[in-house]
Amino acid sequence: MLRRAVLREGWSEDLQAFSGAFGHDYLDASLLLMPVFGIIDANDPRMRATWDRVVERLGSGSLIYRYEGYADSWQSREGSFLACGFWGVEYLARRGDVAEARSRLEDLTAHANDLGLYAEELDPDSGQALGNFPQAFSHVGLINAALSVQQAETDERCS
């Protein structure tokens, strides 16, 4: 029931992508998790289009902002959420773009501090760690992304 509702109500013709909320036309990087939760296949053309919009409007290299502008009602510009970059890696690995997933993973892991820890957010311009530190959410994203890349690489070798 939920899956059907998301597929039916979540698509935005204006965005040509899934939207962060039914009836609205804004992006949210958490949309990249839809294949993880079995809502849609990573290679579905609508999911690929959503990835393209996320990269175009929320991306800064391998870093990805959670949403555009001031969607949080705090009227403040957030840094890029490291978890979102890792969600992008996981998405790419699931759709079979293993080389790009690996490249993004390597770039993201370069943002760890000297102890291998990650903050919640990162300023893409300065590289400065922002937000909560250390942030478990970022580390869980790293683990899931690394496991997805490893699985995709194994699948590629076995094909």
Kindly tell me the sign of the dihedral angle through the C-alpha atoms of 146, 35, 74, 61: positive
Mean pLDDT of the chain: 92
Q: How many domains does the chain have?
A: 1
Domain carrying residue 66: 2-158
Looking up residue 9, the CATH number of its domain turns out to be 1.50.10.10
Q: Are 20 and 27 in contact (CB under 8 A)?
A: yes
Task: List for the chain the helix, strand, coil content (%; round to 5).
Answer: 50, 10, 40
pTM for this one?
0.92
Residue 46 — φ and ψ, nearest 5°? Answer: -70, -35
Q: Among 1-10, 14-23, 54-63, 71-80, name the one with the lowest average pLDDT.
A: 71-80
More confident residue, 29 or 77: 29
